[in-house]
Structure 1
């Protein structure tokens, strides 16, 4: 491990684990957290969960698992450059999407509406619920028994939380996570690495899917145009777009990373940050792009929202995806005996516990499992037939 800077989160000063365990002879507590996340069932299921395109729709498009791996690579590189704890940063990056239900934001919207009478659904709170309660890999405790710092980073990677939903509130009540303060820099870096990854890799997937061309996006987004000009100038003899578009993505990620590092270093100096407590008490997020580049990147985000996330090829699956999730929740909530195995046996009789138990099960489904169970319990899938096979 590279030498850590004073503003890093030091595992030697960790607040520990909820359930005491002997130390590992080969790994720091944060490295152990990372490994537990990788070996979890929830992490494996990300392979078949939607990122933008419904997972069965094309083998080359990103899904939650590949996105999480890409975020972790970017986050770890940034952490190394800043002298942070790389293992903690990587653990947070790998776990940041664990709480997403099937079918991406469509599934989350449907589950939020379905569970509204019992407190609703939030993927971030559900991620905490997974790692503290739902994973059952260890005989001595529920969950993964992660360190306080990893739980704190998962809870607050997007900033302080003043009104937590029921799932996060339950975790916080059992082991307070200081929700009103900022998290350490490792969590902040994992969060912005997520932004950097999806802004750039969604551009790549959007071009691959034919939703827009490189000519379209360079005409509309000056930042992309500038980076494209740099790439084509650097490689004047290369005409194959399949080589140049990945080079464009690398160029953009590199520029964002360089800008981020310069901005973080300037803010560390501005706030005289000397330890992780200073990061938490700075009163602002320290890991951001500079205002100038953030404004340029916002143009890219707006373009992707309009031409990718709202593209007809994506939108046409939104209503049927929501229908699958809503119907599954409705059927299983009304007839919990249809839940498989221990899920049925352990289903509470009283509310809101019963609805939340069913919500846990639905949220854990992969896209393809949700489609198969829908056909078994409800009927023919409302999604196009090619999405079901």
Structure 2
């Protein structure tokens, strides 16, 4: 199964935007290992522990958040990369960083920022991931950003495929350090994208069952899930129901991972690609599910949207979150001093730059920080009931 000839080589990296002469390198780490470590040590990565994954501002410790999701994606992606002989460190860095640009309250928060910033280019969480890592996170003395390699920035920009019309945030990063947006990304980036699908397809089932918003009877209407659950029951007759459900999730991850490994290796062989540059020029995604499993995965996604993501309780929480972000944005636009002395002192001139500055501030918030700032401005009694538990 090894396709190591297509792996990204840290020794042949296209480098970093900023030179780093005289830096003390801690231990024998290559360029991609240093990228992974920079991401893990970033403030933006730590903030993911209090950002929505599925449940808005979850009040129970057992639900996943953006941080735990990102770690689970990294575990899946690293395993696939290892089996295929790809670069594990680059894959892990991409998996860990892929959600760093998400604002508080997940997609509800993103929708609110898109609307508030619509006249000035809008908001896109993937573009904001690049903006956060290349401009906003500033731990080094001589340059902005954490100065990731070209390959890591490229993978974050294009892990879902070529970008024909980049938003303003990604376009700015690409203008500084061209990322060849019209081509496909490395196989490591493609694997990171499919690992994300595998993680949330299955772990969201786990959380949905735990929350009581999904029922096994509903899930059994999905042929892919039903077949895997029957196999689990046959292997463990009489086992407790909750343990069978957790085994189901593990089994489905295994089925999906094995399918991606086999399909990706077959695609590489059929395409005749000899190296990572050929992967970028292949004109199609090579790291993917087989056609049959891709169809089952799409059906599962449709089911999850209908029964979990658009569940009435979820819709109510999303509406409350949208309301909070919209009112916060309006308040900061009316009086930037409400953002606090540091952010207020750095408000740039011009309407567009100011709107984007406010967007940066809000996008960096965690769920509970946003709720606290809302309560501080409008009063705790004004916090929507769906979010008042935080």
Where on the TM-score scale, by shorter chain, does this alignment land: which range?
over 0.9
Q: Tell me, in whole angstroms, the C-alpha distance in 1 between the residues paired with 2:353 and 2:116.
A: 14
Partner of 2:134: 132
Q: Tell me, in whole angstroms, the C-alpha distance in 1 between the residues paired with 2:165 and 2:297.
A: 29
Q: Tell me, in whole angstroms, the C-alpha distance in 1 between the residues paired with 2:121 and 2:162.
A: 20
CA contact (8 A) 1:57 1:387 kept: no
Partner of 2:299: 299
Deviation per CA, 1:65-106: give whole Å up to 9, x if none.
000000000000000011111000000000000000000000
CA contact (8 A) 1:368 1:388 kept: no
What are the residue-to-residue correspondences of 1:268-287 with 2, within 5 Å?
A: 268-287=268-287
CA contact (8 A) 1:201 1:249 kept: yes
Partner of 1:333: 333
Shift in Å, 1:55: 2.6
Alignment root-mean-square deviation, CA: 1.3
In structure 2, runs of 5+ residues without a counterpart are none
Partner of 1:7: 6
Q: Tell me, in whole angstroms, the C-alpha distance in 2 between the residues paired with 1:319 and 1:216.
A: 25
Partner of 2:15: 16
CA contact (8 A) 2:375 2:383 kept: no
Pair 1:36-2:35 in alignment: no
SS at match of 1:162: coil
Deviation per CA, 1:106-164: give whole Å up to 9, x if none.
00000000000111000000000000000011112111100000000000000000110
Partner of 2:217: 215
Cα 1:363/1:291, change in 2 over 3 Å: same
Q: Tell me, in whole angstroms, the C-alpha distance in 1 between the residues paired with 2:323 and 2:261.
A: 43
Q: Tell me, in whole angstroms, the C-alpha distance in 2 between the residues paired with 1:313 and 1:59.
A: 19
Shift in Å, 1:378: 2.3
Structure 2 length-normalised TM: 0.96
SS at match of 1:316: helix
SS at match of 2:5: coil
Q: Tell me, in whole angstroms, the C-alpha distance in 2 between the residues paired with 1:182 and 1:217.
A: 35
In structure 1, runs of 5+ residues without a counterpart are none
Cα 1:381/1:70, change in 2 over 3 Å: farther
Q: Tell me, in whole angstroms, the C-alpha distance in 1 between the residues paired with 2:51 and 2:124.
A: 16
Cα 1:52/1:302, change in 2 over 3 Å: same
Pair 1:259-2:256 in alignment: no
CA contact (8 A) 1:107 1:325 kept: yes
Structure 1 length-normalised TM: 0.96
Deviation per CA, 1:281-316: give whole Å up to 9, x if none.
110011110111111122211111100001111111
CA contact (8 A) 2:320 2:387 kept: no
